Amino acid sequence: MKIRKKIKLFLQEIILDKKTIIILLQKLTQAVLGILFIFLVINFFEIEDQALYYSMSSILSAYVLFDLGFFSFLLQKSSMYVGLKNKNLYWSFFLWNIKFYFLVFLLILSLIPIGFLFFGYEFYQSYFYEWIFVVFIIGIGFAFQAFTNIIEAKQFIFSYKMRIYSNIFAAISSITFFLNGLGFLSLASLSLGYILTGIFYLNKNIHKILSSTTTKINWKQNILKYQKNVALYFAGFYLFINLPVILSHNLFSKENVAGIGVTIVIANVLIYLATSPIISIIPSF
């Protein structure tokens, strides 16, 4: 009887909890998306294009470095304002981030010439417009992905629904791209999903953001001390996950590069699924 009671309590506290369910759904859709990418790349691309796809993905993943880890700090900072019940500070912080991530977007555009230099003139001739499009969309999408972290502090369930819808849109758009011979554009599919869900949110709340009283945020005093701690982690994680593909692009055969790329995608899926849901709990202040 005690065991049955404990199981029932466990189900009530864990499985039936709305926040837990939405987190699991988001993780599931993200994992399925990663597996879908592998399936599409293997079935629609020759081995040379597979190697190029994973190399492009590794270069593009550098976008996470351009805000020096500030992305991971947004939820905690926003939660503090929500905990203080200060709506003006919250919306003012949102507005500050719109400006900040516009600057980050401009920095991310530097990946355009970096990609052309890394892949060479033949790539420049063959994928000029595709590369510019993908970098441009990823730069914008990173901003909207960051905004989702701010939204999470105030509307937890809604923010995870945004992520789930973004994953679903990415899956549908990726299949569409590959079926139409535009597989390389799928590198921007998830960013497109975040842009669409983010525009929907901003359309409903832009007046609150713009009408907030501007609060000056001292980046050096209030943010940098935390940012330094995560910037090194993001740089290390990026190098650990993506550097093998980048280095192998010109050193090994295309088969080896493609194999390493698949391994990295699978590793990312496993790491994502293994991430403790504790990181998704809103801090209390």
pLDDT tens for the 285 residues of the chain, in order: 566 666 666 555 555 567 778 888 888 888 889 889 989 999 999 998 998 998 999 899 888 888 877 777 777 778 777 776 777 778 888 888 888 899 999 999 999 999 999 998 888 899 999 999 999 999 999 999 988 988 888 888 888 999 999 999 999 999 999 999 999 999 999 999 999 999 999 888 888 877 776 666 666 666 666 666 666 667 777 777 778 788 887 777 878 878 877 877 777 777 666 654 444 444 443
Distance CA 100, CA 65 (A): 14
The number of residues in the chain equals 285
Alpha carbon distance 57, 108 (integer Å)? 14
Phi, psi of 239 (to 5 degrees): -65, -40
- Report the distance separating Cα 201 and Cα 227, nearest Å: 27
DSSP-derived secondary structure for the chain: -HHHHHHHHHIIIIIT-HHHHHHHHHHHHHHHHHHHHHHHHHHHS-HHHHHHHHHHHHHHGGGGGTTTTGGGGHHHHHHHHHHTT-HHHHHHHHHHHHHHHHHHHHHHTTHHHHHHHHH-HHHHHHSHHHHHHHHHHHHHHHHHHHHHHHHHHH-HHHHHHHHHHHHHHHHHHHHHHHHTT-GGGGGGHHHHHHHHHHHHHHHHHHHHHHTSPP----IIIIIHHHHHHHHHHHHHHHHHHHHHHHHHTTTS-HHHHHHHHHHHHHHHHHHHHHS-GGGGSPP--
117 contact partners, CB below 8 Å, separation of at least 6: none
Record the pTM. Answer: 0.84
